[in-house]
Amino acid sequence: MTSETSPLHAEHVADGATMVDFAGWQMPVRYSGDIAEHQAVRTAAGLFDLSHMGELMVRGADAAAALDYAFVGQVSRVPLWGAKYTMMCAPDGGVIDDVIVYRRDWDHFMVVANAANRITVRDQLRSRIGEGGFDASVEDVTHEIALVAIQGPAAESITASMCELGADDIHALKYYKGANVLIEGGIHAFAARTGYTGEDGFELFVPADRARAVWSLAIERGDAAGLMPCGLAARDSLRLEAGMPLYGHELSHDTNPFEAGLGRIVGLGGSEGPPRGDFVGRAALERVRDVGVQKTLVGLAGDGRRSPRTGYPVTDPQDNQIGIVTSGAPSPTLGHPIAMAYVPPGLAEAGTEIGVDVRGRREMMRVVPLPFYTRGG
């Protein structure tokens, strides 16, 4: 099967990026080097191509109610130009995908899904709209939109400098808010103060045929600030330090939001908020809330030089396997190995010693609170 290519593919190849297949797309994994790109985002700014992400437009008189039914969060409460991180769960509570929903109008929402799950989320949305009898429609506009992210301490000034109209809106935007802006060259964009790096940043949704102009302008305006194009490897190490889950690693159909430490995003209503109607997975998730979880996601930190990686066995003090590492790497910012893993709740307390089998040798790590890294912390 042939991989899809981003509207920025030619730019990546021309810049010497190492390209890999990711979720059915040819995407850059690195440019100058993983650590240099990671540190650029922490200290200045990084430029990311996220055009592989799926964009689904949900419109109609019942769009808000339909999304309330389809997702675990109460999307109808999102204000105009606001955004919400939420999840689509199966009837048994397992996670189908984690998404961000942006409210573009009172009857118009944009759902941004992970590339590997776009088709599933699209089809599930249509199915759930149909079974609920909602007056709403779903349009997949993934190939019409390019998504460019500017992340890091200098992101605000760089993004504002790119605007022909809307620079003041960029400066005024709060976290998880968006605005329509006009980028130099007459390019219409939806700018959102969102990201996946643990730093301040903006995500620019632009027409696919104008993506190269936006990319080039960002590099031009960000050069003096130290902006660097960044690949998937830096994005992964950045989100790991920030304790952000990745679908296929921390999240899957075999886990639920409570196990992932994200029970707060499940809007059950009642004592936890205003009354709410039914949504797919509600009964199962209420049971998990009431009974408790069998496993829980924790952060692990080590003092050695050998880093755990995805899939490595996690062991208790008696060397019995109790779980597996979901993500792990050396932390460029903190200078020691870090990982996330699912363990029994009884071993989830901060300070607990946990073993990890790193290529046949047991390395000791300790449970630490997530996230590992906090901006300004």
Q: What's the CA gap between 368 and 302, in Å, rounded?
A: 10
Of 212, 241, 270, which residue is a domain's last? 241
Count the domains in the chain.
2
Q: What is the CATH number of the domain that holds 202?
A: 3.30.1360.120
The whole-number pLDDT of residue 275 equals 67
Peptide bond into 371 cis (omega under 30): yes
230 and 337 together in one domain: no
In a domain, 210, yes or no: yes
In a domain, 93, yes or no: no
pTM for this entry: 0.96
Q: What's the CA gap between 58 and 106, in Å, rounded?
A: 11
185 and 307 together in one domain: no
pLDDT tens, residue by residue, 171-180: 999 999 999 9
In a domain, 202, yes or no: yes
In a domain, 231, yes or no: yes
The whole-number pLDDT of residue 305 equals 86
- Name beta bridge partners: 138: 58
In the sheet where 4-5 sits, what is the strand order?
A: 4-5, 25-30, 18-22
Low-confidence ranges of the chain (pLDDT < 70): 1, 270-275
Of 241, 259, 283, which residue is a domain's last? 241
Q: How far is CA 88 from CA 12, 125, 177, 357, in A?
A: 32, 9, 21, 33
The whole-number pLDDT of residue 270 equals 62
Q: Would residue 3 be called left, alpha or beta, if left means φ above 0 and alpha means ψ between -120 and 50 degrees?
A: beta
In a domain, 187, yes or no: yes
pLDDT tens, residue by residue, 5-63: 999 999 999 999 999 999 999 999 999 999 999 999 999 999 999 999 999 999 999 99
172 and 235 together in one domain: yes
In which domain, by residue range, is 377 found?
Answer: 294-377
